[in-house]
Chain A
Amino acid sequence: MWDLLIIQPFTNVLLLIYSYLGQNFGVAIILFTLLIRLLTHPLMVSQIKGSQKMMELQNHPRYKELQEKYKNDRQKLQEEQAKLIQELKINPFASCLPLLIQFPIIIGLYQSLYKAMPNTPHDLLSLTRILYSFVDINAILPINNQFLWMDLSQPERLYLPFLPFGIPVLAIVVALTTYVQGKLITPPPSNPNDQTAMMSGMMNLYMPFLMGYMGLTLASGLSLYFIVSNLIGILQYAMLGKVNWKNILPFRKSSGEKPVSPAKSVATSRKGGKKK
C-alpha cells in the first residue's frame, strides 16, 4: 500500500521530470523537491498558523492565571486548559496534524530518490516493476547521475589537487543549512528556561549533526535533496514572515535578555519577521 500510494507515484514523477527536463538527475531532484514543497505548502501554512495560535494561547492572560491557580493540581490544570482551548475555539492538533501528513511525504520522497537511482540489476528490476506505462525505462537508462562534480548515486567528496583527502562539501552544507533552518524557524521562547524550549534548542543542535552524518554516508542525491529542501523551507517561512533572523547567531544569550511580557514577546517576534 505504501509503495502503491507514495513510492510509486513519487518515483514516476521524478523520472518523468528527469526524462523531459534535461535528463540530469540533479536538476530532476531540485525540481521535484520544489514541486513537493509547493504541493505541501498549504499544510505548512496550516501548521504555522496552528503553532501561532498555540503560542498565543500560552501567552493568554487567562492561561497564565490558570497555571498560577492550579500549579499544584496538574489534573485540574489540564481540565481547565482544555476548557479554555474549547472556549477560544483553538484546535490543539492544528499544528501537529499537518506535520503528521508531511511525514509520509518526506519519507516517501527520500525512498523514491533511492529507488530512482538503481545501483544494481536487482534495484533496476524493482524499479522497472513500479514504472507507469508512460515512463520509458529504455529511454532514460542509463540515468545521468552526474551533477556538477558529483555522482549522485555515491557519497560526495570534492578532491582538490593539493589535498590528500576529499572534502565532503555536501555533508557540510547539509549540516549548515539544517542548523540555519532550525534556528530561523524556531520561534523565540516565552520562557527560555522552559523544558520544551530547552528540548527545542537541543534538537536544533543535534539535527545538523544527524543530517550531516547522513549526508556524509548516503548517496549525494539525498544530500542535494536535503539542501534544496532546507533552502526552500527557509524561503517559505521567510515569505510568511516567520523567520527569526536574529536566531542564527549561535551563541546569542537569549536567556539573558530582558524579560518581556508574553504578549509583547509574540508581537515583537511577528513584527521582526515581517520586517525582514
Chain B
Amino acid sequence: MKKLKILLWLGLAMVFLAACAGTPLNNWPGLAATEDTVVLAYGQVHVVDAKTGTEKWKYPEKIDNASLIFSNPAVVDNKIIVASYANVVQALDAQSGAVLWTFDTFKGKGKFVAGPVVAGEVILVPSTDHHLYALDLSGKMLWRFQSRNALWAPAIADEEHVYLAGLDHYLYSIRLADGQKEWEVDLGGPLIHAPGSDGNGRLYMTTLKKEALAIDKQNGNIVWRTPITGSAWAAPVVADGKVVFGTDQKKAYILNAENGQVLASLDVSAGIIGGPVLFDGVPVLVTEGGEVFQMKWDGTRGWTRTIKGQLGSTPVISDGRLVVSGLQMEHLIVTFRPDGTEDWSLTASK
C-alpha cells in the first residue's frame, strides 16, 4: 500500500509536469504586409512572397520558447522589426532574415505582447513592463514613456503625437518628439486594442466595459459613448464617416463616427477577435469559427467563406489579396481574392 502511495505521488508529479508543459504562452499570430511580402509572427517570423505564397525565410530557424514572437511585425526601409515575449526588439533584413540590430536593454522585464509601429523615423513598442519604448531606426532608444500598468495594445501615431491605450483604463497622448505626456483620459475600462483614427481629429476606442467611444485628439475629451454587446479585441476601421468593428459576443457593428449611433449590426456564428480590414473598399471580418465574410456598408453580408481554424488575427492586404491567419488552422496563412475565392496558402514546413 505504501508503494501504491509513492506511485500515486510520482503520478501527481508527472501530471504536474504535464500540466506545466500544457500551458505555454499563447496568442493569435501577428500579420504584416507590404505590396510584395507577407510577414507572419507565430512563435517565429515567417516571411512569404505575396505573389506565390513561397516562404522566403523564417526567424529563428526553430521556435525559441524563451523568446516567442506573436505580435504584428512592422516593415520599414527593407527591415522587418519584430518584438518578442523576451522584451527584445530586433530588426531583420527583409531579404535574408539576418539580424541587423537588437534592442535588449530591458530583456526579461516584461513582454512585447503588442507589436512595433513605425512613425516616421521612430519605432514605437509598448511592453507589459508598463513602458512604451521609442527607438530610432538603428535600434537606439530615444525615450520611454511610463504608464500605470501593462500595455497590450500597439500605439498609433500621427506626425506629432502618439496615442497609447493601456490596460490601466487610460488613453494617453504623448509627444512623438520627446515622449512627454500631453493628456490622459480614463475611459472606464481596460483598453486592449489600438485606437482607430480618422482625418476629423478623433480617436475611436472600445473598452472591456463593453462601450465604444470617440475621443477628441486635441484634449482627450470624450465626444460620445455607445454601449455594445461584448468586447472588441482589435482596432476598429474608420472610413467614410463610419466605425466598423466586431465583438467576442458574435456581433459586428457599423457606428456613425459623428455621434456613435448604431447604423447596422450583424449577428455572426462565432466571436470576432481580429479587427476588420477594408478589402476592395468593403469591410471584411473573420470569426473564431473560421468564417471570413464581407460586411457591406449597409450592414448586410457580402460573400462568406469558411476555413478550418480559429481566425483571431486582424487580416492584412498584400498584392491585392486578403491574408488571414489564426489558431488550429490547417495552414499557417490562407489568402483570398477580392471576389472571395481562395488563393494560395502557406503550410508549416516540417
Binding site for B on A (CB under 8 A): 51, 54, 92, 95-96, 99-100, 103, 106-107, 110-111, 114, 119-125, 128, 137-138, 141-142, 154, 195-196, 199-200, 203, 207, 210, 214, 218
Contact = CB atoms under 8 A, between A and B. Distances in A.
Given A100-B8, A142-B167, A128 B1 contact: no
24 contacts: A54-B2, A95-B1, A96-B4, A99-B8, A103-B8, A106-B12, A106-B16, A107-B15, A110-B16, A120-B26, A120-B27, A120-B70, A121-B27, A121-B192, A122-B27, A122-B312, A138-B190, A138-B207, A142-B150, A203-B6, A203-B9, A214-B16, A214-B17, A214-B20
Contact of A124 (B9, B12, B25, B192): B192
B152 A121 contact: yes
Identify whether the interface residues of B are mostly helix, strand, loop, or mixed: loop
Question: Closest 10 A-B residue pairs measured CB to CB?
Answer: A142-B167, A142-B149, A120-B27, A141-B190, A122-B27, A196-B2, A138-B209, A138-B189, A54-B1, A114-B23
B317 to A, nearest CB: 22
Nearest to A120: B27
B19 A120 contact: no
B233 A125 contact: yes
B65 to A, nearest CB: 10
A203 B10 contact: yes
B20 A128 contact: no
A111 B192 CA distance: 24
Contact of B208 (A54, A114, A141): A141
Interface in B67-114: 70, 108, 111, 113
Given A96-B5, A99-B8, A121-B27, 20 more contacts: A54-B2, A99-B9, A106-B16, A107-B19, A114-B23, A119-B128, A120-B25, A120-B113, A121-B28, A121-B152, A122-B26, A122-B312, A123-B26, A124-B192, A141-B190, A141-B208, A142-B149, A154-B108, A195-B3, A214-B16
Contacts of B168: 142
B248 interface: yes
Nearest to A57: B1
Nearest to A141: B190
A126 B225 CA distance: 26
A254 to B, nearest CB: 16
Contacts of A100: 8
Contact of B19 (A110, A124, A207): A110
A103 B12 CA distance: 7
Contacts of B134: none
B231 interface: yes
Contact of A95 (B5, B17, B27, B208): B5
B16 A199 contact: no
Contacts of A54: 1-2
Interface residues of B, number: 45
Identify whether the interface residues of A are mostly helix, strand, loop, or mixed: helix
A123 B321 CA distance: 30
- Chain A CB count within 10 A is highest, among B23, B70, B113, for B23
B50 interface: no
Contacts of B10: 203
Contacts of A210: 13, 17
B254 interface: no
A199 B6 CA distance: 8
A58 B248 CA distance: 60
Nearest to A166: B108
A142 B190 contact: yes
B247 to A, nearest CB: 11
Contacts of B19: 107, 110-111
A128 B248 contact: yes
B277 interface: no
A96 B6 CA distance: 10
Contacts of B237: none
Contacts of B167: 141-142
A125 B273 contact: yes
B64 to A, nearest CB: 15
A51 to B, nearest CB: 7
A120 B30 CA distance: 13
Nearest to A90: B1
B210 to A, nearest CB: 8
A12 B26 CA distance: 21
